[in-house]
A and B are shown apart, each in its own frame.
Chain A
Amino acid sequence: MVVAIALAATAAGDLTAQQTNPPAASRNRRVWTGTIDDREILLNATDTTPIRRPVRYYQDVNVTFRFVSESDPDRPGFTRWVSRQLSWNGFGVSSSSIAGRECIGSGSLDLGPADALDATTPDQDAELEIPCKDWDAPNVWSFIPVPNPKVRMPVIDMSMTNCEPPRRWSAGGVRYTLSVAGDSQVDAVVELDHETYAGYVPEPGQPLTLTVRSTSGPVRFRFQLDPANTSSFPGYATNANIDDVFFAKYNLGSLQGQYANDGRDWIFNPEHFGASGWSRRDLGIVETRTAETSAIVPVTAMDFGAVGRLRILVESSDCGGSWQPATIRVNGQQREWLTLPLDEDGNLIADALTRFRGIDSGTDDDAEPAGNGMAGDGLTAFEEYRGFLIRGVGCGSEATEAIYSGIVLSNQPQVTGWSDRHMRTAPDRKDLFVHTPDPELALLLPAFSAATDLAVHAICESHYVDNDTRTVNFTLHRGNTRAWQGRSIARDRPQHGIRLEPVDHLGLRGLALPVNEGDMGPPGLTRTVQVVKPGPASSFNARRGRLELPELVHTIVHELGHAVGIPHHGDSVDATRWRVIIGRQNVTKSLSLQQHAGGPPDSSQQTSLPEMADAYYAAVGGRQYLNSLLVEPGPDCEEGAPNATFFINGKFAGCSADSIARRGQQNSGDFECPMRYSGADYYEAPGSVAQYRWTALVQERIFGSLRFGALVDAWGGRLLRYRNDLDRDGTGRFCVRTNGTEINSLPGDMNHAGDAGRDKPCIEFLVVNDLAAAGTP
């Protein structure tokens, strides 16, 4: 990077006049520099419609100026302006859900000589406007407060004396700074290689190296990080605190023990500043030891979201050797300081990442996938930019030492967590974070991404605090840092990840366990997702109902689906309370006693009966549970069939079944949807409904003999044998329509379960943003 510092003894464009006019000193030429920060935020603004839609309103115009004044030789006692240079960048937004205005612009302009400070031409006025664009949704209208950002002119107090400390004040919500110096002192202009500066994105340990050059002789330089405007965000990424890995991985070992979790996010790394060249070597200030014509200064980021302000000062002989600020020129614009990194739109995000350009730091409006229509994933644009640590090759027990062909891998620190990767996520795609300790389950997570279009990231336990907390943006939330420099950077509530754990002995393929029974919604409402993993291969494991890999993949996708608010086909979710609304449900032997009325299971009824003396399966806790469903004899239940096992007084009474698939319930809808159940024993014929008949102890043909004592619930109606040979687990995406396909769209009686019995497909339940459940206890 090349930065040139030019010592300007005269104002630009004034060389000819200098030859005939009196010397500059006799004309009392003075150089005025300063800034204007015009910022406006409206809280709780709404539009004018009866709905009173919330309106997000913000505008900020930053101006730097360099004005040169001198005594007017034609009018003694008066001052005239020989140069008036302005640079600015402005941003403004006001938007509701149906209308908005966005303004963005930057520029620089020399207003030229004038008698009055603020004299402008109409063309100059037009150039000083920040351009705006309005938009509205079609066919609707409303009034919203609109920003009208403008470049303000400086306020200059002519009574200020040279070398006086810079003044700072506020008036009418606008913040001003002002410095003045005589033109005989060093009036430094620093120029930057814009390309290098603009391409820099903060990464811990990676310095931004500036080369400063004086073209008019040696000077001493001071580089100073403005403490009030340099961030100290807790941790170094959205989900990472400073730890041993940080120092080892980012080659910052010399700072271990000196640098704290909430240390400044930009520093001058002492390793880069030798005592021979630098007289002052603080983390926040460095000074060259001797007067030099150039200096190279590396500024080191300590945070992936580091924001800062660098001031460059040069030693001035004019004001008794004091340090005077140098003016910095970036891409033709002059500034009083250098923002670190380059951030023209002032959103705290490096402009080098174009996908974040113009997005406010507090925005959380990721649109894809649309899901239930709620934008966002609970993470602000700034948090997504600052990025996340995600799982590398392992979690906590990954390789910590490696030697390859005799070479100790120097890029592989021998600390746990060396392989964690940092990732900045996209502000327009919803992100979901899943922790599993198991490398095999982690390998299968992309299947959930493929089924939902979510960006799914595998993380380690420490990346969301722990399995109980599960907060993926914990650094800012735990530090109670919601805003910085007036800009929102974190939302009101933390966002949660999902825990995915392998288990044995569950009896189920998998389960999404809610925090509170009956909850279903965004990830914060699910305590853990458990799946049974294939165990060691053995004939006995095969007999014990271990899952094969395809079932495992399906189970992971299905259960993670519940963890983002997707219920079974036939069920729905009350999105005001985030409670699952159960449909009629398939008839099963677990639920049958609550399903006699035909509607959804009646929880006022027990799932068991009082103990029965003749039952041959012992009661549990004095209660007798159903041994089976009994399907009445019919075309698909005839005596002699393999499942024709129930008799009463020796006469055939019905067939055994564990489940009867009901129309529009769990087995219904899109065949390939992972949320659809596959397999059953019977199904309701199209146009018919399973009818409860009776409950009794019956004889069962079991193990080759007929025995009395099986407790069954008998069901009738047009019940047809389920064609399991035509069915399998859905391996596609979550359904986008409720229509039945494949076995659920076959003609006539072959149609197994029909369309999903609710008004929305699975994908329209998907919700990732934990703010959706903000009101849920």
Chain B
Amino acid sequence: VNARRIGVLALVAALAAAVTIAAWLAAHRVNPSVAIPRLGLTLLVNRRANVELSPGTPLRFEASLVGAADVAAFSVGSRWKPWHQQIRLEAARVGETLPWPLPQPDSARTMEVIEGRPRMTDEPAAVAHLVESRQVHTATFASSPEDTATLQPGTYRIRAVFSTPFWQLWGWRGRAVSGEVTIVVVDAASAGGTRPDLEGERLALAVDFYLNASRFEEALRAATTLTDLFPSEARSHVLLGDVCAALNRREEALRAYERAMALLPRTYEPPELLLARIRQVKDDPNRGNAGAQLDR
């Protein structure tokens, strides 16, 4: 008898819960007066909305969640599914397939302004708060040089999608789709080498990618090629110096940095970041402010 009673009570409770949930969903579905927090999703690739590149150029996508300025506070994400794991990349055109695997988010950060003071967190909370437009929550996605090496010349359009999981019944629930970014892949080699700028960009970004991935030997190969192809560009030597410094080849790093100093165009501002690198390599404990900043 007790088991039957418990069973009936459980059934009634389940039915009551189902009715409550159904009513809540229906109310939100049909009631147009419900306050609608507007979510902005912005996508950039290699810091731009449109890029032109050659195969083998690594890609860094940045998908940012921003609240609209005229909308009250709301939040997205949960401890079970953090906000940055709810963002994915996909082909922007329905039915279009991309010839390389689109990456998963590899890092996330939050920049916000609180009482006029900016703050950035590299390991943000699982829940992203959006108060008017005072926060930018950014998830980054990286495609390696190997991923993009087989790309055929053409135009690829990609967008980011933010969607809450089906089981989430609370908070902001829904889906937002970013505008598309356009990636135009140019076969620099078949163009008769008329686009050395693309090759320089490919190598520079590859050095960056390999350094961030701690793949130093590959970074060194790319940096050496870059300096061979573009010996008069300061950027080539800065990146070579970075790789040598990472490999603890300090003398070579210093030489590369000094060469970069000589090649850097004269500007109205001092090459503070380059000087900081030189000091870092020399490991001068009494270095100036720029060097001290690196210790933080």
A residues with a Cβ closer than 8 A to B are 392-407, 409, 411-412, 416, 419, 421, 437-440, 443-444, 446-447, 450, 501-512, 532-538, 540-551, 553, 559, 562, 568, 580, 588-590, 607-608, 617-618, 620-621, 623, 625, 627, 641-643, 656, 658-659, 677-681, 702-703, 722, 724, 727-728
A331 to chain B, nearest CB (A): 34
Q: Residues of A contacting B266 with CB < 8 Å?
A: 590, 607
- Tell yes or no: B41 within 8 A of A by CB: yes
Say yes or no: B178 contacts A393, CB within 8 Å. no
Known contacts A409-B38, A440-B64, A396 near B272 by CB under 8 Å: no
Q: Which residues of B contact A702 (CB under 8 A)?
A: 254, 282
The 3 closest A-B pairs by CB, nearest first: A393-B40, A679-B289, A394-B42
B269 touches A511 (CB 8 A): yes
Q: Verify B261–A399 contact, CB threshold 8 A.
A: no
Let me know if B238 and A437 touch, CB within 8 A: no
Given A398-B41, A543-B294; A703-B67 close (CB under 8 Å): no
Say whether, besides A443-B113, A447-B118, A722-B288, A404 and B42 are in contact (CB < 8 Å): no
Q: Nearest CB to that of B290 among chain A residues?
A: A679
Q: Known contacts being A439-B136, A505-B204, is A562 close to B268, with CB within 8 Å?
A: yes
New A-B contacts (5) at CB < 8 Å, excluding given A393-B42, A404-B37? A393-B66, A394-B66, A399-B40, A510-B269, A537-B107
Q: Could you show 11 A-B contacts with beta carbons less than 8 Å apart? A: A392-B40, A393-B38, A394-B42, A437-B48, A505-B239, A538-B211, A540-B212, A617-B255, A620-B263, A642-B284, A677-B270
A405 contacts B29, CB within 8 Å?
yes
A-binding residues in B (CB < 8 A): 25, 28-29, 32, 34, 36-44, 47-49, 60, 64, 66-69, 107, 109, 111-113, 116, 118-120, 122, 133-136, 138, 140, 172-181, 204, 208, 211-212, 214, 232, 234-235, 238-239, 242, 245-246, 250-251, 254-255, 258-264, 266-280, 282, 284-286, 288-290, 292-294, 296
Asked if A437 and B251 sit within 8 Å, CB to CB, the answer is: no
Q: Give the most central of A501, A509, A533: most B CB within 10 Å.
A: A509
Interface centre among A399, A404, A589, A722 (most CB of B within 10 A): A399
A627 to B138, CA, bound (A): 41
Complex contacts, B175 vs chain A, CB 8 Å: 401-403
> A543 to B279, alpha carbons, bound, how many Å?
11
Rounded to whole Å, the gap between the CB of A178 and the closest CB of chain B is: 51
The 8 Å CB contact of B267, one of A405, A503, A511, is: A511
A454 to B105, CA, bound (A): 38
What residue of chain A has the Cβ atom nearest to residue B40's Cβ? A393
Residues in chain A near residue B235, CB distance under 8 A = 505, 507
Known contacts A399-B40, A401-B177, A507-B271, A450 near B259 by CB under 8 Å: no
Query: Which residue of A407, A551, A642 is within 8 Å of B293 (Cβ)?
Result: A551
Asked if A508 contacts B270 (CB within 8 A), the reply is yes
- A437 in contact with B49 given A392-B69, A399-B176, A724-B292 (CB within 8 Å): yes
Residues of B within 8 A of A411 (CB): 36
User: A419, A536, A643: which has the most chain B beta carbons within 10 Å?
Assistant: A536
B42 touches A397 (CB 8 A): yes
Chain B residue with Cβ nearest A551 = B293
Measured CB to CB, the closest approach of chain B to A672, in angstroms, equals: 15
Contacts of B47 in A (CB 8 A): 437-438, 501-504, 533
B293 pairs with A659, CB closer than 8 A = no
Q: How long is the Cα–Cα vector from A623 to B37 in the complex, in angstroms? A: 62
When the two chains form the complex, which single residue of A403, A407, A588, A680 contacts B32, counting CB atoms closer than 8 Å?
A407
A415 to chain B, nearest CB (A): 9
Chain A residue numbers with a CB within 8 Å of B250 are 703
Closest to A546 in B: B273
Residues of B within 8 A of A409 (CB): 36, 38
- Inter-chain contacts of B174 with A (CB < 8 A): 402-406
Q: Which of A395, A504, A621, A659 contacts B270 (CB 8 A)?
A: A659
| A543, B120: Cβ atoms closer than 8 Å | no
Residue with the greatest number of chain A CB neighbours at <10 A, chosen from B25, B119, B261: B261
Q: How far is the CA of A580 from the CA of B177 in the complex (A)?
A: 47
A400 contacts which chain B residues (CB < 8 A)?
177-179
From B32, B212, B235, B255, residue with most partner A Cβ within 10 Å: B212
Assuming A392-B69, A400-B179, A562-B268, is B32 touching A625 (CB within 8 A)? no
Nearest CB in chain A to that of B219: its residue: A540
One of A395, A504, A590, A643 near B284 (C-beta < 8 A) = A643
Instruction: List chain B residues, Cβ under 8 A from A548.
Output: 293, 296
Chain B residues with CB under 8 A of A659: 270, 288
Contacts of B119 in A (CB 8 A): 549
Task: Tell me which of B136, B208, B258, B296 contacts A504 (CB under 8 A).
Answer: B208
When chains A and B are docked, how far (Å) is the Cα of A580 from the Cα of B264? 21
The interface residues of chain B lying within 8 Å CB-to-CB of A398 are: 40-42, 66, 178-179
Name the residue of chain B whose CB is nearest to the CB of A534: B120
Contacts of A533 in B (CB 8 A): 47
Q: Do A507 and B286 touch (CB < 8 A)? A: no
> Given the complex of chains A and B, what is the CA–CA distance between A627 and B42 in angstroms?
45
Measured in the bound complex, the distance between the Cα atoms of B255 and A315 in whole Å is 92
Q: Would A507 and B177 count as touching, CB distance under 8 A? A: no
Cα–Cα, bound, A396→B269 (Å): 32
Cβ-defined partner of B173 (8 Å) among A404, A568, A680? A404
Q: How far apart sit A406 and B32, CA to CA, in the bound complex (Å)?
A: 11
Report chain B residues within 8 Å CB of A412. 38
How near does chain A come to B20, taking the closest CB pair, in angstroms?
A: 16
| Distance A680 CA – B270 CA, assembled complex (angstroms) | 11
Name the CB-closest residue of A to B24.
Answer: A405
Chain B contacts of A588 at CB under 8 A? 270
Whole-angstrom CA separation of A547 from B118 in the bound complex: 14
Do the beta carbons of A658 and B268 come within 8 Å of each other? no
Query: Do A443 and B40 contact each other (CB < 8 Å), given the known contacts A392-B69, A405-B29, A641-B286?
Result: no
Query: Are the C-beta atoms of B118 and A443 separated by less than 8 Å?
Result: yes
Contact in complex: B268, A512 (CB < 8 Å): yes
A443→B111 contact, CB < 8 A: yes
Chain B residues lying within 8 Å of A641, measured Cβ to Cβ, are 286
Taking the nearest CB of chain B, how far is it from the CB of A352, in angstroms? 21
Q: Is the CB of A405 within 8 A of B34?
A: yes
For A502, the chain B residues whose CB sits under 8 A away are 47
Interface contact A509-B259, CB-CB below 8 Å: no
Assess whether A450 is in contact with B116, with CB atoms less than 8 Å apart.
yes
Q: Is the CB of A643 within 8 A of B286?
A: yes
Cβ–Cβ < 8 Å partners of B270 in chain A: 508, 588, 590, 659, 677
A407 to B26, CA, bound (A): 11
Interchain CA distance A175-B60 in the complex, whole Å: 66
Asked whether, in the complex, the Cβ of A549 is within 8 Å of the Cβ of B68, the reply is no
B246 touches A543 (CB 8 A): yes
A392/B68 contact (C-beta < 8 A), A399-B179, A509-B269, A590-B261 known = yes
Picked from B44, B176, B211, the residue with its CB within 8 Å of the CB of A540 is B211
Bound CA span A447–B34, Å: 35
Interchain nearest-CB distance for B170 vs A (Å): 11
Contact of A397 (CB < 8 Å), options: B49, B69, B263: B49
In the complex, residue of chain A having the shortest beta-carbon distance to the beta carbon of B260: A507
Shortest Cβ distance from residue B46 to the other chain A in the assembled complex, whole angstroms:
9
Q: With a CB–CB cut-off of 8 A, which chain B residues contact A543?
A: 242, 245-246, 277, 280, 294
B contact residues around A512 at 8 Å (CB): 268
Determine the distance from Cα of A540 to Cα of B275 in the docked complex, in whole angstroms: 16
Contact B68 A542 (CB under 8 A): no
Chain A contacts for B285, CB-based, 8 A:
642
Instruction: Tell which of B38, B180, B289 touches A724, judged by Cβ atoms closer than 8 Å.
Output: B289
* Contact partners of B282 in chain A: CB under 8 A: 702
* Known contacts A399-B179, A402-B175, A679-B289, A545 near B212 by CB under 8 Å: no
CA distance A124 to B260 in the complex (A): 84
Kindly state the separation between the CA atoms of A677 and B41 in the bound complex, as whole angstroms: 37
| Contact between chains at B42 and A507 (CB < 8 Å) | no
- How near does chain B come to A641, taking the closest CB pair, in angstroms? 7
In the complex, are the beta carbons of A608 and B42 less than 8 A apart? no
- A546 vs B242: C-alpha distance when bound (angstroms): 12
The residues of B that contact A544 with a CB separation of less than 8 Å are 211, 242, 245, 273, 277
